[in-house]
Amino acid sequence: MVSQESSPIPVFLPRVAERARFAAEKMQKVDCVETERLLVGLNCFEPGQSQKIHEHAGADKFYLILSGRAKVVVGDEARDVGAGDLVFAPAGVVHGVETAYERTIMLVGMTRDT
Amino acid sequence: MVSQESSPIPVFLPRVAERARFAAEKMQKVDCVETERLLVGLNCFEPGQSQKIHEHAGADKFYLILSGRAKVVVGDEARDVGAGDLVFAPAGVVHGVETAYERTIMLVGMTRDT
């Protein structure tokens, strides 16, 4: 642990995908590291779940697919992605997950809105 | 591709670990996505290679180990890490890779120095 501001930030997060949580109602977000500069977390989808198209005006974001398979949208492009694929959504560009084909875990890294 | 500033930024980077490059002399860095806010890249180690202890005064950084096994240092703590482990190095905290035990690829995400 490293103290930063009021709450301790975890430094070593072994097998981070094991922090994934799933719910029948909708995709789940699990925050792993959160600072004033950076957010690292998991986006967790059951088959058929989605993340609606949205954008972050002042923040860059990327997804690294850890497991599963899904259709991801960035700008006007939609692509099927799977484990080991990286997707980058620059600030101001719409992005989202159209559907997960199976149970899918994505690591998400995002700068904070400036 | 999404145009940002002068150079196009890649949006879909399939099987990002395949971009890894290795060299006998020292660990290699491969930049994958670079903006004014965020750097995403690979750190690539042959067995026995290291990354010297350093810090970023105004930037948060994390490593996600994609493959291999290494001893990583953050602050005063050293730990053996392997595929799927996440390591977070907050701004101002020293960190580095003491040694790679085998060929090792880490995905690195880092905010830009502010």
pLDDT tens-place string over residues B12-67: 999 999 999 999 999 999 999 999 999 999 999 999 999 999 999 999 999 999 99
Task: Give me the mean pLDDT over the A98-109 stretch.
Answer: 98
pLDDT at A69: 98
Hey, are the CB atoms on A109 and B13 less than 8 Å from each other?
no
Report the candidate in A11, A32, A58, A107 with the shortest Cα–Cα distance to residue B78: A11
Percent of chain B whose pLDDT exceeds 70 = 93
Residue B80 in contact with residue B70, Cβ under 8 Å? yes
Q: Judge whether residue A74 has pLDDT over 60.
A: yes
Q: Judge whether residue A28 has pLDDT over 70.
A: yes
| Structure confidence at residue B114 as a pLDDT band (50, 70, 90) | low
Beta bridge partners of A77: A74
Percent of chain B whose pLDDT exceeds 90 = 89
Residue A30 in contact with residue A19, Cβ under 8 Å? yes
Pairwise CA distance, residues A2 & B75, whole Å: 8
pLDDT at A1: 54
| Structure confidence at residue A85 as a pLDDT band (50, 70, 90) | very high
In chain A, residues with a C-beta closer than 8 Å to the C-beta of B40 are 62, 86, 88, 109
pLDDT at B113: 73
Rounded to a whole number of angstroms, the CA Rg of chain A reads 14
Pairwise CA distance, residues B61 & B39, whole Å: 9
Rounded to a whole number of angstroms, the distance from the CA of B54 to the nearest CA of chain A is 16
The DSSP call for residue B77 is E
Q: Judge whether residue A96 has pLDDT over 90.
A: yes
In chain B, residues with a C-beta closer than 8 Å to the C-beta of A66 are 84
Report the candidate in B60, B72, B62, B4 with the shortest Cα–Cα distance to residue B35: B4
**Mean pLDDT over the full length of chain B:** 93
Hey, are the CB atoms on B16 and A40 less than 8 Å from each other?
no
Pairwise CA distance, residues B12 & A32, whole Å: 24
What is the phi/psi pair of residue A16, to 5°?
Answer: -60, -30
Q: Would the ipTM clear 0.85, i.e. be above it?
A: yes
Q: Judge whether residue B3 has pLDDT over 70.
A: no
Percent of chain A whose pLDDT exceeds 90 = 89
Task: Give me the mean pLDDT over the B89-113 stretch.
Answer: 96
Nearest by CB to B111, from A4, A38, A90: name it: A38
Hey, are the CB atoms on B37 and A91 less than 8 Å from each other?
yes
Considering the entire predicted model, what is its pTM? Answer: 0.93
